[in-house]
Chain A
Amino acid sequence: MIALKPDFCDITLPENYEYGMEDYSSAKAKWCSGCGGHTILNSVQKLCQEEQLAPEKTVFVSGIGCSSRFPHYMKTYGFHGLHGRAFPVACGVKFRRPDLNVFVITGDGDCCSIGAGHWVHAIRYNMKMVVLLFDNSIYGLTKKQTSPTSPLGTRSNTHPTGSVLPPISPVQATLGLPNVSFVAQTVDWKAAHLHATIRKAYEHPGLAFVRIVQRCPVWMRDDYEPTVKDPEAITLMHHENGIALDEKGMKKFRKVIEHDPSDIVKARENAELIKDSTPIGLFYQNHAASRYDQYGAHNLGISTEDRIDAINELMDRYVI
């Protein structure tokens, strides 16, 4: 098992910080031992602490599945709702509450299968929120059924002789959507890269979509182990506007390519690389995409008198 070292990244805290790690940590996570969820949880809690996010102003919205237990392990506000429906709920939360930090926690079945329709539109809405797709390529909680991202031929309880359909690439699909503004990919076992990616996503002024390739040691060990062990199996996309890694962090990657995240055509090409060597880093970022949450909040604070005047004006049109 690959464990997360406690000093996996540098944490710079303000001098008189208010919130410690304990302020974000609730129940002990009930994921399996070796599950990638643990490292992601740890990384997110550290981000909250680094950014000193007020727990009462932070909302984690999830769907259903292994990943979606996540909000229960935070000590912020949380919404553990329905399978596939984290996006509409999160968008509803953010629409009239620009003051809240919203995170969406979803899985491959949740986002790319039962909730795929919402995924498409959430990208288009581009509300400021961080979306973490925990992609372990399998339905874990219901005990090993083929997921929309299971590699072709994956043996599962629904396809004992191997899955018969090619998988969806969440990154490729997202890069094809209108108004997409941030798409990144990372893996749960490269802790520094994972954290730098989540941080970059948090700083993005719009919807930041992060696919995290996640280990499921119970059902999919054969699937991810070669990638974890083979240094050639990951390609780091590097750029000064991409995911920041220090020299030490960079040295951990054998294959490195330069990629400008403002170039969506190149981003889509890189997404194709997935077949040979998993590209990680920032595929695409656009700071200027239009944001539906700004539209949603544009008339906040209108006075009661003005509201009544507007209703009366409409009512008067019906007066006889």
Chain B
Amino acid sequence: MANPTDSAVSSVKSDPKPKQVKEAIVEIVSDSGEGAQKCGQSLGAISAKMGNGVWTVEIIPAEIQPPARSKAGASGIRVRMGSGPITNMGDQANLVVALNEQVLYGRIDQKAFKPGTYLLIEKKWADNPSEDIRNDYRKSIRKFKQLGYLIHEIPMEEECLKIVNDARKGKNMWVLGLLCHIYDRDLEIASEQIRYVFRKKDQQVIQNNLDLLQAGYDWATRNLDIHYSIPPNPREGDHVVMNGNEALSLGVMAAGIEVCSMYPITPATSATHAMAETMESAGGIIHQAEDEIAAIGFAIGASYAGKTAVTITSGPGIALKTEFIGLAVMAEIPLVIVDVQRGGPSTGLPTKVEQGDLLSVLYGAAGDAPKIVIAPATIEECFHYVILARKLAESFRSPVFVLTDANLATGVQPFPRPVIKPDWFAPPLDQSPWKEGLKPYDWDHATGLSKRPIPGQKGGMYTLTGLAHDEDSHVAYDPAINQRAAESRSRKLAALLKTLKKPVVHGDEEGDLLLIGWGSTKGAIEEAVDRARDMGASISSLHLHFLSPLEPGIKEILKKFKKVKTVEINYSDTVGDPLITKENRRYAQLAWYLRAHTLVDIDCFSNVFGQPISPYRILKMLEEEFDMKFTEDI
């Protein structure tokens, strides 16, 4: 507890012992700009510091400020806390704090929570000057009660106004206090968190927020009988907690990348925000280019000149960059390209989750453009995969894609604190004289690999070109030269494949059903598989991290299962829908790719709801596969 001489908050705990639970899911929903996300992120950080497993995911409307009190305009956050590690957003929330009642409708429609859930709703709308609002409020409360929700109407604003003049600036910390009591959070850690969150503000602001935290906590103590504890499991060693975009940004710096060239696009840009303050002290520069095309062109120019570079974007940005990506493949320019995927096609769902870019990244360019594609599955991997990508790009003289998505971008999870190693950095610029007689594309017959000259290297002068070229980089339209050059570029992937290990199956290595996933769905898939296995299903899963080249031995793994199905967040037809047959069905992206690769009749389970996939949804699908019951109905 806090030091009493300090002006920090202190607990007045007088209520009975909290009920111990293994995990809890909380949602805080509001109109945009009410600070719900800051509240949830703080709750997540406090829980992580206490030693709990945590996953947070933001609920984001596409607009900065959609109309207030709109049913679909919910902005907010989900926080899942557990005794053990938490790898995904989970199923339905156990408790929801709503700053207005209208935003609950959209979440209920999305089955984000189920009857029996606690809804803690701001009460001020009951006394609103507008009769319409008062009526809407009363009607909604009645309806939620009828639906079986457990309603608590809470005078949040009224209580906040006892401390601050403007409740809008502070209600979130009062709610944090409320939640800290409900989930038995350590108030000293919570106070530290508030001091950290408001570290750039003046003392009065910090004190107000500490007072609000205390007031929310005390109010819950006096008025609520909802009280849980989630016993933490102690962790060994230092841990950090951050979201995937923050992990990417630290990865960029830890890889020693000197140029991060970008153009603002949701949901990728926050990665650049996270590095903005530190990048220059870490030896690099962020270049905000005039457009997506220029962003990659600039990175390619820097890389050609021997400076390691990354460009970070999302699907529409990849579409614009495609011609340059083809050039980077053709001219063999090392480059890291991060694609934080969002819903497509076109502008699509800018803030929502989709794994929709796999095929466009693999095949989007004109002609055959083999490149390396890797996909981190956890926040921790977002960090390490950038470092890996930088090394692969240089070793294989190739663009390397890192595919993440909006789920990883905003998901927050603790992981062991990486210890930065100097050998993660790019080697110093090579300005030694170029080996006499060595050609700029001296393709090794077996591996396709060649060493590249860098401007400044005496004797290495060549003109890089996107035209077909021979080993001297001379423009060459000769049929045999073009064939050989294409073979060499493709062979690099086969050479990389030689260094990869067979992926490990989660669960038994044989059985009735194998689920295959890639990217951010790993936690949800494995949790669903574990739950189904516990209930007797013969099921395993496989998660792929290398998508180009594909990891070795996949076909052998698949052969040991009666059925194979991918689980993805992208579009696929459903057999039985109007006009859709097994013959004309369009499959989910990894399924297409694996079917072609393995000639195995792989099925898929996918949707484009724009949401992270939950274990619940996967289990519902498995109920049909196994004709068993794995979930409760909602």
A binding-site residues for B, Cβ under 8 Å: 26-27, 54-57, 59-61, 71-72, 74-82, 85, 87-97, 99-100, 117-118, 120-121, 295-296, 298-299, 302, 304, 306-315, 318-320
Which has the most chain B C-beta neighbours within 10 Å: A57, A302, A308? A308
In the complex, which of the residues A26, A71, A89, A320 contacts B304, with contact meaning CB atoms closer than 8 Å?
Answer: A89
A56 in contact with B455 given A82-B324, A92-B309 (CB within 8 Å): yes
Residues of A within 8 A of B456 (CB): 56-57, 97, 99-100
State whether B297 touches A85 (Cβ < 8 A).
yes
Q: How far is the CB of A64 from chain B (nearest CB, A)?
A: 8
Q: How far is the CB of A126 from chain B (nearest CB, A)?
A: 14
* A-contact 0/1 string along B270-303, CB 8 Å cutoff: 0000010110111111010111011111111111
State whether A88 touches B294 (Cβ < 8 A).
yes
Q: How far is the CB of B202 from chain A (nearest CB, A)?
A: 20
Residues of A within 8 A of B474 (CB): 27, 72
State whether B475 touches A72 (Cβ < 8 A).
yes
State whether B291 touches A117 (Cβ < 8 A).
yes
Residues of B within 8 A of A121 (CB): 289-290, 294
Residues of B within 8 A of A310 (CB): 253, 278, 281-283
Residues of A within 8 A of B300 (CB): 81, 89, 92
Which has the most chain B C-beta neighbours within 10 Å: A295, A304, A314, A320? A320
* A-B CB contact pairs (8 Å), 25 listed: A26-B463, A55-B461, A74-B463, A78-B462, A78-B463, A79-B464, A80-B464, A82-B466, A85-B297, A88-B294, A88-B296, A88-B301, A89-B301, A89-B304, A93-B304, A93-B455, A95-B287, A95-B302, A99-B456, A121-B294, A299-B285, A307-B283, A311-B278, A314-B277, A320-B239
Residues of A within 8 A of B302 (CB): 92-93, 95-96
Residues of B within 8 A of A298 (CB): 280
> In the complex, A177 Cα to B298 Cα: how many Å?
21
Q: How far is the CB of B271 from chain A (nearest CB, A)?
A: 13
Find the A residue at minimum CB distance from B49: A320
In the complex, which of the residues B250, B285, B417, B458 contacts A96, with contact meaning CB atoms closer than 8 Å?
Answer: B285
A313 in contact with B301 given A82-B466, A88-B294, A92-B309 (CB within 8 Å): no
Interface with A: B255-263, B392-400, B575-583, which one?
B255-263
Find the B residue at minimum CB distance from A101: B455
> In the complex, A95 Cα to B287 Cα: how many Å?
9
> In the complex, A61 Cα to B298 Cα: how many Å?
12
State whether B464 touches A92 (Cβ < 8 A).
no
State whether B298 touches A91 (Cβ < 8 A).
yes
State whether B417 touches A77 (Cβ < 8 A).
no
Residues of A within 8 A of B455 (CB): 56-57, 59, 77, 93, 97, 100
A97 in contact with B294 given A80-B466, A314-B277 (CB within 8 Å): no
State whether B304 touches A302 (Cβ < 8 A).
no
> In the complex, A299 Cα to B259 Cα: how many Å?
12
State whether A314 touches B324 (Cβ < 8 A).
no
Residues of B within 8 A of A91 (CB): 298, 301
> In the complex, A79 Cα to B467 Cα: how many Å?
11
Find the A residue at minimum CB distance from B295: A88
Q: How far is the CB of A55 from chain B (nearest CB, A)?
A: 5
* A-contact 0/1 string along B225-241, CB 8 Å cutoff: 00000000000001111
Is B26 an interface residue when CB atoms closer than 8 A count as contact? no
Is B76 an interface residue when CB atoms closer than 8 A count as contact? no
Main SS of chain A's interface residues?
helix
A81-B466, A95-B287 known; 17 other A-B pairs, CB under 8 Å? A54-B458, A56-B456, A57-B455, A77-B453, A88-B289, A88-B290, A92-B261, A93-B302, A100-B305, A118-B294, A298-B280, A307-B253, A307-B256, A314-B275, A314-B277, A319-B238, A320-B49
Which has the most chain B C-beta neighbours within 10 Å: A72, A80, A318? A318
Which has the most chain A C-beta neighbours within 10 Å: B256, B466, B474? B466
> In the complex, A59 Cα to B460 Cα: how many Å?
12
State whether A79 touches B304 (Cβ < 8 A).
yes
State whether B242 touches A318 (Cβ < 8 A).
yes
State whether A56 touches B460 (Cβ < 8 A).
yes
Residues of A within 8 A of B239 (CB): 319-320
Q: How many residues of B contact A (CB 8 A)?
A: 70
Is B459 an interface residue when CB atoms closer than 8 A count as contact? yes
In the complex, which of the residues A92, A312, A319 contacts B301, with contact meaning CB atoms closer than 8 Å?
Answer: A92
A79 in contact with B457 given A88-B289, A96-B285, A97-B306 (CB within 8 Å): no
A314 in contact with B461 given A82-B327, A320-B241, A320-B414 (CB within 8 Å): no
| B383-423 residues at the A interface, CB under 8 angstroms | 414, 417-418, 420, 422
Residues of A within 8 A of B241 (CB): 318, 320
> In the complex, A12 Cα to B148 Cα: how many Å?
93
Residues of B within 8 A of A82 (CB): 297, 323-324, 327, 466
Find the B residue at minimum CB distance from A307: B283
Residues of B within 8 A of A94 (CB): 301, 305
A88 in contact with B297 given A96-B258, A97-B455, A310-B281 (CB within 8 Å): yes
* A-contact 0/1 string along B420-455, CB 8 Å cutoff: 101001000000000000000000000000000101
Residues of A within 8 A of B422 (CB): 304, 308
> In the complex, A54 Cα to B431 Cα: how many Å?
13
Which has the most chain B C-beta neighbours within 10 Å: A78, A295, A314? A314
State whether A81 touches B253 (Cβ < 8 A).
no
Is B173 an interface residue when CB atoms closer than 8 A count as contact? no
Residues of B within 8 A of A93 (CB): 301-302, 304-305, 455
Residues of A within 8 A of B253 (CB): 307, 310-311, 314
State whether A92 touches B259 (Cβ < 8 A).
yes
Q: How far is the CB of B40 from chain A (nearest CB, A)?
A: 16
A77 in contact with B462 given A96-B258, A308-B420 (CB within 8 Å): yes
State whether A320 touches B301 (Cβ < 8 A).
no
Q: How far is the CB of A105 from chain B (nearest CB, A)?
A: 11
In the complex, which of the residues A97, A302, A304 contacts B305, with contact meaning CB atoms closer than 8 Å?
Answer: A97
Q: How far is the CB of B478 from chain A (nearest CB, A)?
A: 16
Residues of B within 8 A of A296 (CB): 285, 287
> In the complex, A91 Cα to B296 Cα: how many Å?
11
State whether A85 touches B282 (Cβ < 8 A).
no
Residues of A within 8 A of B298 (CB): 88-89, 91-92, 95
Q: How far is the CB of A186 from chain B (nearest CB, A)?
A: 25
> In the complex, A139 Cα to B612 Cα: how many Å?
49
> In the complex, A64 Cα to B242 Cα: how many Å?
44
> In the complex, A96 Cα to B259 Cα: how many Å?
8
Q: How far is the CB of A99 from chain B (nearest CB, A)?
A: 7
Is B45 an interface residue when CB atoms closer than 8 A count as contact? yes
In the complex, which of the residues B287, B294, B323 contacts A117, with contact meaning CB atoms closer than 8 Å?
Answer: B294
State whether B459 touches A315 (Cβ < 8 A).
no
> In the complex, A304 Cα to B259 Cα: how many Å?
16
In the complex, which of the residues B240, B301, B466 contacts A95, with contact meaning CB atoms closer than 8 Å?
Answer: B301
Residues of A within 8 A of B256 (CB): 307
A120 in contact with B290 given A56-B455, A61-B301, A82-B297 (CB within 8 Å): yes
Residues of A within 8 A of B475 (CB): 72
> In the complex, A59 Cα to B291 Cα: how many Å?
24
> In the complex, A310 Cα to B300 Cα: how many Å?
26
Is B489 an interface residue when CB atoms closer than 8 A count as contact? no
Residues of B within 8 A of A55 (CB): 461
Is B24 an interface residue when CB atoms closer than 8 A count as contact? no
> In the complex, A76 Cα to B453 Cα: how many Å?
12
State whether A320 touches B240 (Cβ < 8 A).
yes
Which has the most chain A C-beta neighbours within 10 Å: B239, B261, B299, B304? B304
State whether A314 touches B250 (Cβ < 8 A).
yes
| B284-343 residues at the A interface, CB under 8 angstroms | 284-285, 287, 289-291, 293-307, 309, 323-324, 327
